[in-house]
Structures are given as C-alpha cells and as structure tokens.
C-alpha cells in the first residue's frame, strides 16, 4: 500500500490553499502551557470530539446576554436589544440544527441534556408489550446510554415479568478479534429477534472506536421487523453527513459541546419524526405547551405539535446562545464543504499513521511498542481516529499520552490503552496532523527506550516540534 506520504511542507501548502483555512481565526486556540505541556505557542488541540473550542463570537454572545440581563432584566424575555428574546432563544438555532441533521424544523427541539433527553424520548416511545419489549444497544456503548436504556424496562414491571426485564437488553458486540461491529451482524441480530425488539438504539458515530454506523441500511431493517430506531448523535452532529429524514430515523438525541462548540455541559437537543408525535404519551411541562397560549397559565395542557411539544422547562439561555456562533459559522462554510474537508483531514491522519513504523496491524507482533488503529476506514468514520497503544495495559498508553501532552498535543485517553485523535474541520490544520503523528512517534520511541532501560528517559530532551 504505497500511498504518497505528505511531508510537513506538503501539509503546510494544503493549509495555505485550503478555502476554509480562515475559520480557525474564529476560535480561541489554547496554549501548550495551559494544556499542561512545556514550551511556547499554541497547543495542537485534537480533542474537539470531547469538548469543542471557544468560538470568539460565542464569547461575545455570552457577554451580550450578561449585559441584557443586567440592563433589561426580566423584559429580556420579550424584548431583546440583539433580537434574541429569551422566550424564544432557540428560535434562531432550530433552522440551523434541522439543516445539518436533515430534518424538518418542527422535528427538532433544543432542550435539557443528552441523557435526560434519552429518558424523555424513551418515556414516550418505549411502549413495551408482553410480546415486543427488547432494546438493542451495543455492549460497548457510552455508559450513560447503557445505564439509561437498562432503566426503562424496569419502569414497566406491570407489563413485563422479572424474567423479561432481565432479558430486555440485547447487547451487540464485535466478532472475536475485531474492534467494530459489522452491519451484516447487526442486521442478523434484528432478524433473529424480529418478533421481540421494540427499539434499536445506536450511535451515529461511536464514541470509543470512531465507527460511523450505516444507518441507511440498518433503519429499514428495524422498520421491517416492526421496531423503532433511535440514534445517539453525540459524536455525529456537526461531524458527519446526517440525513435523519432520508434514513427514516424515528428519534435522536445529541449534545452540543462536542463538534458544535457550545461550551462545557451546554444544552442538548433531540429529533422526533413527525409520524411519531401522536399528541399523547409524554412527560409534560409548560415549555411543551403551545407557545401561543403558554403564558395564559391555563390548567389544560395543549402540546405544541412536533418535537417542541416534548420540552419541559424554559430554555437555558447562557448554555444555548454560545451555540449560535458555531451554527452560523457552519452555515457560512456550508456543511457539505465541512464534511468534505473532514474526510481529507482524517484521511491524511490515517495515511500518516498507517505509514508509521510504529503501526501495528493484525498480522504484527502485538507485544511490540506501537499502535493499532481501531477506527474503520473511510467512509465508516467521522473525523476521529482511535488508536490503541501496544503492548496494551502495562501503563504504556498513559506514558505515551503524557509525553504527547508535554509537547502540546492534546488528544484524549480512554483507559486502558486508547488515545482518540480528532482533527476538527473548523479549527485544525493539515500541518497539525503531520506534527501530531511525529509527536506520537517520538513518544513511542521514548517508550521503546524506557522499556529497554527499565524506565528512565528524560522526555524533555526531545522536542520534535521545535526541532523541525
């Protein structure tokens, strides 16, 4: 597999010629020091899959809201000098969100946080019967999803026997020796349990492996067997092409602090396909009531048709409005252009990783110092590539990870052996991809020496970024 391996000069040229290279200036880039490393200058932040960076306009929006709070006080709900009355603070967000997820505006609501939204939607759409009560989820799912899903069958103990509750969750796992799920295997589980599955719950992009699921193929099968399909889009939204209507997804949730840069623990959102909203079963609150009559304070609950009818509380302004900055930026750039650049950035990362002398493939000795790649090849991934540092365990990964941090490369670690690297379209550069791989190689080289010498190498002796 001899691909053209780009040099740092090639990558710098790609950055200069990149029509989207201006968007980086919209963000506040962290310094190496602030990220825990040593040296001057900006860190290489490849952790936007976990917490997106601060958009400069988001800072401005928050300051504006503080000023409105200070000066307009309660009237800010209705009259707002920046035309964002708090009563409808989600109004400018909804059209953008609908566009990037491929849905109608009335199918989108901006509310609460991701896990609470899972509970909200499961209260409405998980309606188990004695015959059909099971939920499909990956065994390796994000723990919050796993806990949330397991809690729902227990709420139906009048309908389900204890044995049914105990068997309600079908956990999907990859084949022996494989890291990610095969679509054909998922389809087979659906077929094998076709009379008992109520809901298929999957991520759009898997948080740990970076796998992008083939929802266009899985959703029709879920419907064929009479189940609903719901998606966790935490790592998908703002990252990969998303066509909820076209794929015919029933419901979905997301957070906004990852690829949408809305800030730590910012507000989440959800999607409900129009045909699912039967006007009935839900957890109700005044914000789900029709906006036109909400302030009449009537005792009769009249839900807003569509997803917004499933909201509970007034929308948190300070954790919502930072989102506007990135949504407007995405609109300016064009989401398809972002997705295309994301493929190119991540494709470059994959090429450089696979060309590294530290790359360990399935046929190699798994006990040598190096890394495996967990993430599938394009097109089954977003911008994130997850690598597992070898030999696994033995504290190898944390040492390698901290050497990278020391030099200003910020990925994130997942014990025991995984490092996730996500070059984010809106603020990362091609050149950073090259430097990240060099830094990883250096950290691994030091690990080789460390293991050979029984553990004493002065990591500060090398600094590849200042040397090149």
Ligand X SMILES: *Cc1c(COP(=O)(O)O)cnc(C)c1O
Binding site for ligand X (CB under 6 A): 113-115, 142, 144-145, 203, 207, 232, 234-235, 255, 268
- Residue 166 counted as an annotated binding residue: no
- Residue 422 counted as an annotated binding residue: no
- Residue 235 counted as an annotated binding residue: yes
CB of 306 to ligand X, least distance (A): 23
- Residue 361 counted as an annotated binding residue: no
- Residue 336 counted as an annotated binding residue: no
CB of 366 to ligand X, least distance (A): 28
- Residue 196 counted as an annotated binding residue: no
Q: For ligand X, which is the closer residue by CB, 89 or 255?
A: 255
Q: For ligand X, which is the closer residue by CB, 144 or 356?
A: 144
- Residue 112 counted as an annotated binding residue: no
CB of 122 to ligand X, least distance (A): 14
CB 77 within 8 A of CB 453: no
Q: For ligand X, which is the closer residue by CB, 201 or 450?
A: 201
Q: For ligand X, which is the closer residue by CB, 12 or 51?
A: 51
- Residue 157 counted as an annotated binding residue: no
- Residue 144 counted as an annotated binding residue: yes
Q: For ligand X, which is the closer residue by CB, 208 or 401?
A: 208
CB of 302 to ligand X, least distance (A): 29
- Residue 69 counted as an annotated binding residue: no
Which residue, 192, 231, 197, is CA-closest to 126?
197
CB of 322 to ligand X, least distance (A): 15
Joined tokens for residue 375: 């993430």
CB of 143 to ligand X, least distance (A): 8
Q: Distance between CA atoms of 110 and 108, rounded to whole angstroms?
A: 7
Q: Distance between CA atoms of 309 and 99, rounded to whole angstroms?
A: 20
Q: For ligand X, which is the closer residue by CB, 213 or 427?
A: 213
CB of 446 to ligand X, least distance (A): 31
CB of 235 to ligand X, least distance (A): 5
Q: For ligand X, which is the closer residue by CB, 137 or 165?
A: 137
Q: For ligand X, which is the closer residue by CB, 140 or 434?
A: 140
Known binding residues are: 114-115, 142-145, 232, 235, 257, 286
Known binding residues for pyridoxal 5'-phosphate are: 114-115, 142-145, 232, 235, 257, 286
């Amino acid at each position: 597999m001899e691909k053209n391996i780009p040099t740092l000069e090639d990558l710098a040229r790609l950055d200069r010629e990149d029509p989207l290279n201006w968007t980086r200036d919209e963000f506040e880039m962290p310094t190496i020091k602030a990220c825990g490393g040593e040296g001057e200058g900006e860190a290489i932040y490849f952790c936007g899959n976990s917490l997106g960076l601060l958009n400069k306009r988001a800072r401005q929006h928050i300051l504006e809201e503080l000023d409105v709070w200070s000066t307009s006080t309660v009237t800010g709900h209705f009259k707002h000098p920046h035309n964002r009355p708090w009563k409808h603070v989600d109004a400018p967000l909804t059209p953008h969100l609908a566009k990037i997820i491929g849905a109608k505006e009335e199918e989108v609501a901006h509310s609460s946080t991701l896990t609470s939204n899972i509970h909200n939607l499961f209260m409405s759409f998980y309606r188990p019967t004695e015959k059909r009560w099971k939920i499909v989820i990956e065994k390796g799912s994000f723990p919050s999803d796993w806990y949330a899903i397991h809690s729902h069958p227990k709420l139906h103990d009048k309908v389900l026997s204890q044995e049914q509750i105990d068997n309600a969750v079908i956990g999907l796992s990859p084949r022996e020796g494989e890291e990610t799920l095969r679509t054909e295997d998922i389809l087979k589980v659906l077929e094998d349990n076709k009379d008992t599955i109520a809901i298929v719950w999957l991520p759009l992009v898997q948080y740990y492996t970076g796998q992008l699921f083939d929802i266009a193929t899985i959703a029709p099968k879920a419907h064929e067997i009479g189940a609903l399909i719901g998606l966790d889009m935490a790592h998908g939204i703002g990252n990969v092409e998303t066509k909820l209507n076209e794929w015919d997804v029933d419901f979905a949730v997301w957070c906004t602090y990852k690829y949408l840069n809305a800030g730590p623990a910012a507000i989440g959102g959800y999607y409900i396909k129009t045909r699912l909203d039967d006007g009935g079963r839900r957890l109700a609150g005044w914000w789900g009531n029709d906006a036109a009559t909400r302030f009449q304070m009537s005792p009769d609950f009249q839900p807003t048709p569509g997803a917004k009818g499933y909201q509970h509380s007034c929308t948190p302004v300070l954790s919502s409005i930072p989102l506007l900055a990135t949504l407007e930026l995405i609109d300016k750039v064009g989401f398809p252009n972002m997705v295309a650049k994301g493929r190119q950035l991540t494709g470059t990362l994959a090429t450089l990783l696979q060309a590294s002398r530290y790359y360990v493939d399935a046929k190699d000795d798994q006990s040598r110092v190096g890394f495996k790649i967990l993430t599938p090849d394009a097109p089954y991934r977003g911008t994130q590539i997850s690598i597992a540092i070898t030999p696994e365990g033995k504290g190898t990964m944390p040492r390698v990870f901290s050497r990278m941090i020391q030099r200003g490369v910020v990925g994130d670690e997942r014990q025991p052996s995984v490092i996730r690297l996500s070059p984010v379209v809106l603020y990362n550069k091609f050149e950073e991809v090259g430097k990240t791989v060099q830094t990883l190689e250096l950290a691994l080289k030091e690990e080789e020496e460390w293991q050979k010498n029984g553990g004493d190498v002065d990591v500060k002796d090398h600094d590849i970024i200042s040397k090149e």
